Structure 1
Amino acid sequence: MAALIRRCFSKIVLRSRNTNPVLYQCSRVFSSEIVDNTGNTEPTVPDWKPPDNETIEKTRARLVYQSRKRGMLENGLLLSSFAARYLKTFNEKQLKLYDNLINKPSNDWDIYYWAVENKPTPEEYNTEIMDLLKEFAKNTVMESRIRQPDLEQM
């Protein structure tokens, strides 16, 4: 498999002027569905399922990590600060709502736009946690949120 990946990557690099055929060929090798650069087919994102039999402490720890490691700076800063302030006070129901909010949508920009009220929040995510996140995003106390909060030692 590693040789196949190297061969695919070398073809992409060598043919940098016209990568579409090579990317198309490589996607056929690595995907159950063909995805090309013309946008004819989108890759499928698997449905999110919450972990089974997870303790409340483990859920909190996982959500702290997932709030910090978003893949986009805006949500990383917003959600990590939010989690540092509120996650330890959430009950089990609120933790499930927050888990659903940050893990179920397939596009992180949607979460950000809902939180800053740039787009309307879908009914499924319009919960008490989203209301709290929207209020937190307004930052009415003008606190500095230019870096993620320090992690607490457990």
Structure 2
Amino acid sequence: MLTRDVSIYCRREGNFQDNNLIHPESREPDIPRYVEREGENANLKRARLTYQSRKRGMLENGLLLSTFAKKYLNTFDDKQLRLYDQLINLPSNDWDIFYWATGIKPTPPEFDNEVMDLLKNHIQNKDRQTRIIQPDL
């Protein structure tokens, strides 16, 4: 919806309080570029990735990734931790991660790896586990 359209809608619906209110143009927030952390030990990386898996932009990914992290992060070696870090931090759109992991969209080659395969298998939930809340920390 354009700024002008918002103002017209608010006036029409009786929600417009100030006719002099100026609405800024809509723009995407600046997202910092992903930079791989140097010198981060495996335990610190696991703790950071656990937190990042829980605090996604959308609830669906928070549930899927937090349960995945709980199940796998403690077994990942350095390479797998790096791949998971890239998977959850490089894409700027959470829907991309969700669509790739659920198979709705093909996974780009740079994310098509062993960690994505584990995530896809986790999402299939063959054990029929209840995943309606994030696991305890």
Which interval holds the TM-score relative to the shorter structure? 0.7 to 0.9
Q: Distance in 2 between matches of 1:141 and 1:114?
A: 21
Residue 97 of structure 2 is aligned to residue 111 of structure 1: yes
In the TM superposition, what whole-angstrom CA distance separates every residue of 1:59-94 from its partner, at most 9, and x where no partner exists? 000000000111211001000000000000000000
How does the TM-score come out when normalised to structure 1?
A: 0.73
Percent of aligned positions that are identical: 56
Q: Secondary structure at the match of 1:23?
A: coil
The CA deviation at 1:44 is: 4.6
Residue 114 of structure 2 is aligned to residue 128 of structure 1: yes
- CA shift in 2, pair 1:118/1:18, >3 Å: farther
1:95 alignment partner, one of 81, 86, 90: 81
What is the aligned length? 122
- CA shift in 2, pair 1:18/1:142, >3 Å: farther
Q: Which residues of 2 match residues 42-57 of structure 1 at below 5 A?
A: 42=28, 44-57=30-43
The CA deviation at 1:52 is: 2.1
The amino acid of 2:36's aligned partner reads: P
Partner of residue 47, structure 2: 61
Structure 1: runs of 5+ lacking an equivalent: 1-12, 25-35
- CA shift in 2, pair 1:115/1:18, >3 Å: farther
The amino acid of 1:100's aligned partner reads: Q
The CA deviation at 1:48 is: 0.7
Residue 23 of structure 2 is aligned to residue 23 of structure 1: yes
Q: Distance in 1 between matches of 2:78 and 2:37?
A: 14
RMSD: 1.9
The amino acid of 1:141's aligned partner reads: D
Q: Distance in 2 between matches of 1:137 and 1:83?
A: 12
Q: Which residues of 2 match residues 31-50 of structure 1 at below 5 A?
A: 36-37=25-26, 42=28, 44-50=30-36
Structure 2: runs of 5+ lacking an equivalent: 1-15
Partner of residue 147, structure 1: 133
The amino acid of 1:108's aligned partner reads: D
